[in-house]
Chain A
Amino acid sequence: MPRISHWIARRLSHLDPVLLLLVLVLLGISVAVVASASGQSAARISGHLMNIGLALGAMVVMANVPPHLLSRVGMPLYVTGVILLVAVALFGEVRNGSRRWLDLGVVAFQPSELLKLALPLMLAWYFQHNEAVLRVKHYLAAAGLLALPFLLILRQPDLGTAMMIGVSGVYLLFFAGLPWKFILGGGVLAGASLPLAWGFLHDYQQRRVLTLLDPSTDPLGAGYHIIQSTIAIGSGGLFGKGWAQGTQNQLDFIPERTTDFVFAVFGEEFGYVGMVLLVALHLALVARGLTIAARAPTLFGRLMAATLSLNLFTYVFVNIGMVSGILPVVGVPLPLMSYGGTALVTLLLGVGIVMSVATHRQLNKT
């Protein structure tokens, strides 16, 4: 018995207490909000709790994997992910008009989810591998590694995921020291290619953007989501209507309200005070992650911790921005809040990686 408890203590010692506390507080809020949004459906709540348990388990496991081991799975994982994306493009299952799912007989899953971690791991490994001899060509090669899955996911089409994965790669390049001239040049290039990109967007994607600019043009169609969610948030006011008291929520006016639009429920029932608290918690999470990055002994650890932290907040920004009507509607869940197992597991795996970086301080023995 003492040996087992000792073993458990060792495993748990790899959890960063600050990150753990923040994650648990956010997940606690999440349970309350999902309970309210689902009309206190026992099935939804227990499903959510199970997802949380699973994801926390994955986090603990990941926190115990030393970074030097992690860095080795980067390339195989990336290669697998890209192959699977190609497989999706060839044999994938079409759901809701896009080819994203791969049916493996037992489970159907989206390979793009895999790339959310595989791409940063791959790039971080790549930069670590070439740490001493970094040249421009390495950045170009990294950009190529980034572009390949990005384009594959974009043509599924899944603009939201492609953008999020692309952004995580850009963050990593940025932290890896991509020269400013490339950053600025890339920014200008991206800006200039916007009109061109518009032409490549699918009809429904264009409509989402247009709807954002003026939701009232399509009040019953694409604009309905944004109109109803902004009404929910705005009517919440300073302190909100109280838990399970939001009329927009309880009377079904908010679509997808346990998943992508869960923030509308949160905003309606907990108000501006709740929103400030939520953003503050996420900022604390990012601050802790960046602190870990600053203290990390290896380039791989620095890059992973910094990228994953920034990435997390990017999800927060894109989701709340979309639900509150300043960004187009893309299918991005709110981290640590939305119902949904895959996204939660992926996210806490990332947190686990950051924890691993934080608690494995010794230099890699390569």
Chain B
Amino acid sequence: MAITSLKNLDRELARFQLRLKVGAGFVALLAAALLVRGYYLQRVQHEYYVQRAESNRISLVPAAPHRGLILDRNERILADNYSAYTLEINRAQMASLERTLTELQALIEITPGQLRRFRRLLTESNEFETVPLKSRLSDEEVAIVAANRYRLPGVEVKARLFRNYRAGPGMAHVVGFIGRINDRDLATLREGGREQNYRGSVHIGKTGLEQSYEALLHGRTGFDQMETDAGGRAVRVLSRIPPVPGKDLRLYLDAELQAVAEHAFGDYLGGLVALDPNTGGVLALVSKPGFDPNLFIDGIDPDTWKELNESAARPMVNRVLRGIYPPGSTIKPFMALAGLELGVRRPEDSIVDPGYFMLPNSSHQFRDWKRGGHGVVDLRRSIAQSCDTYYYRLAVDMGIDRMHDFLAQFGFGEKTGIDLEGESAGLLPSREWKQRRWKKPWYPGETVIAGIGQGYHLTTPLQLAAAVAMLANGGRPVPPRLVAAVRDPVTRTWAPVAPPPARPALAIAPAHLEVVRQGMLDVTRPGGTAAASAAGAPYAIAGKTGTAQVVGIKQGARYDASRLAREHRDHALFIAYAPADKPTLALAVMVENGGSGSGTAAPIARAVFDYYLTGKRPGDMQFGDDNAAD
């Protein structure tokens, strides 16, 4: 019994020893598994995890650059920046947006307009974006919000740079405005590979110079490489690439001249563009009515937007660039020059004007604006008195094809290439165009009215100004430019902007040009159509009046501006340059429903010339200091 028990014990012990070995083997297996896993993580996948740890730790915080300034030729500020506090909302961080809004309204004043704008921005932004609720907080409001921050998660007060358009509504069509970057802007930026540079930016140029010079104005975004902890708090700055501010723009434009021009329009709507005929520099560009560009920066509230957009006055349309009108009689100097250059007319060739023109084998009368006609009319007189019959006949003698080719040299029918976007090309009709567009042949009657700038021909005020500048400078195409120079924000030096390659000057016989110019001078002399507007000027103006029909006038009926409702009156046109002997300013004026060029458009031009050439301001004009802050 004792022996078996002992043997048993031995067997038990042997079994235990075996089990110990199995246990040891099991532990070795577990240890091996850990070491294999460790080897995989720390040796095989090491690089990957180093990268993960680095991206955990390092975050790039973009630093938005200051946007470049926009200055007029005298370095008057048209657009600059100011720093202010804004109240911004991050929806993702709050339980209930509505409750937060209610609580905020109890703390500081939030207007219905701000609320509406905020709600519109909400619909346009994704859930994680911060959306501004109120900008330009007062110091008191900042303090109130800061004191209540602990119970308002997702509500942030941020110091931001704001764009400030000091020049007001009159400059809106030139300077344009910036607005919040939307999906379309983002797509464009992505296509151009520029999205990285906008990582800290909220705004982008939407119209005007803000849009066309976006690349220069924006500047380069800087980046702070921050070490951040798991809670996203910045622990320290590892490296810093400072932002490079955008470049400043200096324009050819003279803000005071612009104000004078705008004032000269009075109640009328329309457009005016004044160029330096030697450079193409835009000295004034008025499109009335304007609008307040400051409204758009952080999103416009829906009601104001509706009002602006649906107003009959169309304040959002830049009439100088996009308004297209028949040139009317302003085409006549160019027609006259065509007649001379093509050998169809000599200066002394005269007609006797019976007050109408008829095509052979037709009884249709193409009437002159002057009942009974102008009598004996030579080329100079045809311009001075704007004789329609002279040009009906000239057009027929010249033919539409030659007329088209000659006028095209002055830039009609194509974009001038001004440094703003959205320009219209207008339309310079031709036989080939009509066949292509309407699948119809060209009719002789269409040539007749084309001679006085009616029919299919459509121009923008900008095209007219660029064309009359060529008459002023002897036939050299000068594409209109707004920006004269660009200032480097670091070196603070101005570099002139190279003009785009212009086409070579036209080879026009000086004698021919001189006759036309004399005719345009006669326009502003006694007996000319714009004599009254030029009376007493200490310099000579060469110009041409015109009207663009708004409503068709029936055969046999007479156009009588005074008996028509204002919105049915013709648009008044005037093109001119001065001083006539050595022109420094060329312009085109279009007055919507102005009736006649001589009556409304020419006086506006006179005010512009007076100010530009003599410094004389309109007597009734109050000059505020545009540069006063805000």
Q: Name A residues whose Cβ lies closer than 8 Å to a Cβ of B.
A: 131-132, 171, 174-175, 177, 228, 230-238, 247-248, 251-253, 267, 271-272, 275-276, 279, 282-283, 286-287, 290, 293-294, 299, 302, 306, 309-310, 313-314, 316-317, 320-321, 324-326
Contacts and interface: CB of A to CB of B under 8 A. Distances in A.
B5 interface: yes
Nearest to B58: A247
A116 B258 CA distance: 91
Given A231-B53, A275-B35, 9 more contacts: A228-B56, A235-B53, A267-B42, A275-B34, A299-B12, A310-B27, A314-B30, A317-B30, A324-B37
Between B16, B38, B52, B229, the greatest number of chain A beta carbons within 10 A of the residue's beta carbon is seen for B38
21 contacts: A132-B8, A228-B56, A231-B53, A233-B49, A234-B41, A234-B46, A235-B52, A248-B53, A253-B230, A272-B43, A276-B38, A279-B31, A294-B16, A309-B23, A310-B26, A310-B27, A314-B30, A320-B38, A324-B37, A325-B37, A325-B41
A282 B12 CA distance: 28
B19 A177 contact: yes
Nearest to A236: B42
B12 A177 contact: yes
B628 to A, nearest CB: 50
Interface string B345-358: 00000000000000
A323 to B, nearest CB: 10
B408 interface: no
Nearest to B23: A310
Contact of A317 (B23, B24, B33, B53): B33
Contacts of B33: 317, 321, 326
A252 B233 CA distance: 11
Interface string B1-41: 00001001000100111011011101110110111011101
B34 A321 contact: yes
B45 interface: yes
Contacts of A279: 31, 34-35
Contacts of A313: 27, 30-31
Nearest to B51: A235
A233 B20 contact: no
B38 A286 contact: no
Contact of B57 (A238, A251, A276): A251
B227 interface: yes
Contacts of A325: 37, 41
The 3 A-B pairs at the shortest CB distance, nearest first, are namely A234-B49, A235-B53, A252-B230
Given A231-B56, A232-B53, A248-B56, A132 B5 contact: yes
A293 B20 contact: yes
A75 B8 CA distance: 26
A282 B231 CA distance: 35
B56 A233 contact: no
Contacts of B100: none
A228 B55 CA distance: 12
A235 B230 contact: no
A131 B6 CA distance: 12
Interface in B222-245: 227-231, 235
A131 B9 CA distance: 9
Contact of B20 (A175, A228, A230, A234): A175
A250 to B, nearest CB: 8
A283 B37 contact: no
B48 interface: yes
Contacts, number: 138
Interface in B187-202: none
A247 B56 contact: yes
A282 B295 CA distance: 72
Nearest to A251: B229
B159 interface: no
Nearest to A286: B27
Given A177-B19, A233-B49, A286 B43 contact: no
Contacts of A231: 49, 52-53, 56
A232 B46 CA distance: 10
B497 interface: no
Interface of B: 5, 8, 12, 15-17, 19-20, 22-24, 26-28, 30-31, 33-35, 37-39, 41-43, 45-46, 48-50, 52-54, 56-57, 227-231, 235
A293 B230 CA distance: 47
Given A174-B23, A177-B15, A235 B46 contact: yes
Nearest to A227: B52
A235 B45 CA distance: 8
Given A313-B27, A313-B30, A306 B20 contact: yes
A253 B15 CA distance: 49
B41 A233 contact: yes
Contacts of B5: 132
Contacts of B8: 132
B38 A324 contact: yes
A286 B23 CA distance: 10
A275 B42 CA distance: 10
Contact of B52 (A234, A236, A237): A234
Contact of A175 (B16, B43, B56): B16
A88 B305 CA distance: 68
A231 to B, nearest CB: 5
A279 B22 CA distance: 19
B45 A234 contact: yes
B20 A294 contact: yes
Nearest to A282: B31
B23 A306 contact: yes
Nearest to A310: B23
B42 A238 contact: yes
Nearest to A293: B20
B37 to A, nearest CB: 5
B231 A252 contact: yes
B43 A238 contact: yes
Contacts of B34: 275, 279, 316-317, 320-321, 324
A316 B34 CA distance: 9
B471 to A, nearest CB: 71
B30 A290 contact: no
A324 to B, nearest CB: 5
Contacts of B228: 251
Nearest to B235: A251
B38 A275 contact: yes
Contacts of A293: 20
Contacts of B38: 233, 267, 272, 275-276, 320, 324
Contacts of B53: 231-232, 234-235, 247-248, 253
B19 A324 contact: no
B45 A175 contact: no
B49 A230 contact: yes
Contacts of B17: 294
Nearest to A132: B5
A237 B46 contact: yes
Nearest to A232: B53
A313 to B, nearest CB: 5
B37 A321 contact: yes
Choose among A235, A276, A325 the residue with the greatest number of B CB atoms under 10 Å from its CB.
A235
Given A252-B230, A306-B20, A276 B35 contact: yes
A265 B236 CA distance: 22
A174 B20 CA distance: 10
A232 B45 CA distance: 12
Contacts of B41: 230, 233-234, 267, 324-325
A43 B453 CA distance: 93
B44 to A, nearest CB: 9
Nearest to A272: B42
Contacts of A294: 16-17, 20
A136 to B, nearest CB: 16
Nearest to B32: A279
Contact of A234 (B16, B30, B48): B48
Contact of B24 (A267, A287, A321): A287
A290 B42 contact: no
A314 to B, nearest CB: 7
A6 B525 CA distance: 134
